[in-house]
Amino acid sequence: MPSFEQLLRRERFWRFAAIWALLLTTILLAERYWWDFFFAADRPRPVAPRGPLWPDEERAIALFRAVSPSVVAIVTRTGGEGGGTGSGFVWDRAGHIVTNHHVIEGAREIAVILDDGRIAPVRLVGAAPWTDLAVVKLDLPGLHPPPIELGSSAELAVGQTVFAIGNPFGLSRTLTQGIISALDRRLPTAGGREVAGVIQTDAAINPGNSGGPLVDTAGRLIGVNTAILAPAGAYAGIGFAVPADTVNKIVPELIRTGRVPLPGIGILVLPEEVTARAGIRGVAVQAVIPGSAAARAGLRGSDLARGRLGDVITAVDGRPVATLADLALELERVGIGNKARLEILREGRRTVIEVEVQDVG
């Protein structure tokens, strides 16, 4: 049987253990209050000094500050309350602004929002739907924003850093950065034609960026952002820009005359599936426009009612063509006023015809 002293020691032990257990429980339950009391930042915190910006950051900031005043937001009204938005950039000190044709297509009213917040009406100067380019002009007295500096798309290389500036989803003055992902892409446009030499980039381009500039690290225009490749119509890492060399050829012509000569020969063509069903690779002539260069050269159209296929153009100056877009690009290469050597398939026989390229715009 335990002695009195042993019982007393046990009682002290359990009393001591109970006190410590109660103390630990109190500490655990009160811990969150202690943290709040001693460590809660319930007053404005001091700002930690940062070191200098990285050189790449400084360059991007300087580029945006230099180029963004030349970029405008474009707002259109097509009737009633309907309309759209896009981007554009100042081309010259006369106030001409370049954008995409699809941005202003069908618009009854067009206005731009300048870098300083001013809203100004513009008038349409001219458009070239087959290159998806258009020019509008500021109807604004006084000084205009500075024109953007021009680069050359012929100098570009895959992997080069580029910046897109525009107004995606109506969010003004947005800068995105990426690289040139590919060159010499072909972009379908109006009338079954294509723009050649198109720049592909992974810089974020979304609806509203259309018509804005794609610039290099020197802040020079190298392309006009025009399209994205995405099922949902939003950024998916693949965007396209009309090359600056094409812009520099088309825009001055639009400013001078309001239009750009369209190389052609004066034919209507059959859908590609017609020649595909016939097992023929080429551009089948549906009809020849009277008085055209094609008519003077003796090209023959089709008579589908009798099941007769007309001439099928298979090559231009030795370059194979399979679609209307191929043919249009080759005729553009030949140039208006020059003669193109067409290889054609006529009633199963191959022959060659020379046709003068004319303006069919």
> What 3-state class would DSSP assign to 282?
coil
Is residue 144 flagged as an active site residue?
Answer: no
Catalytic option among 96, 102, 144, 245: 102
- Helix, strand or coil, per DSSP, at residue 188: strand
Which has the closest alpha carbon to 137: 68, 78, 88?
Answer: 88
Look at the block and give the residue holding tokens 């020059």.
338
Integer CA distances (angstroms), 133 to 19, 55, 68, in order: 85, 35, 20
**DSSP 8-state symbol, 37:** H
**Residue pair 265/294 in contact by the 8 Å Cβ criterion:** yes
| Active-site residue, from 210, 245, 302, 326 | 210
Measured from the Cβ of residue 15, the count of other Cβ atoms closer than 10 Å reads 10
Q: Under 8 Å CB-to-CB from 74, ≥6 apart: which residues? A: 85, 86, 87, 88, 97, 99, 103, 104, 110, 111, 112, 113, 136, 167, 211
d(CA 229, CA 101): 18
| Listed residue (125, 82, 134, 79) closest to 104, CA to CA | 134
Q: Give the angle 104-108-109 at the CA atoms, nearest 5°.
A: 80
The answer to whether residue 3 is catalytic is no
Q: Could you say which of 96, 101, 132, 202 is catalytic?
A: 132
Beta-carbon count within 10 A of 242 CB = 28
Q: CB–CB of 85/102 below 8 Å?
A: no
CA 50 to each of CA 59, 65, 76: distance values in angstroms, whole numbers, following the listed order: 18, 22, 44
Per the CB < 8 A criterion, the answer to whether 37 and 139 are in contact is: no
Amino acid at 121: P
Is 181 considered catalytic here?
no
Question: What positions carry a catalytic annotation?
Answer: 102, 132, 210
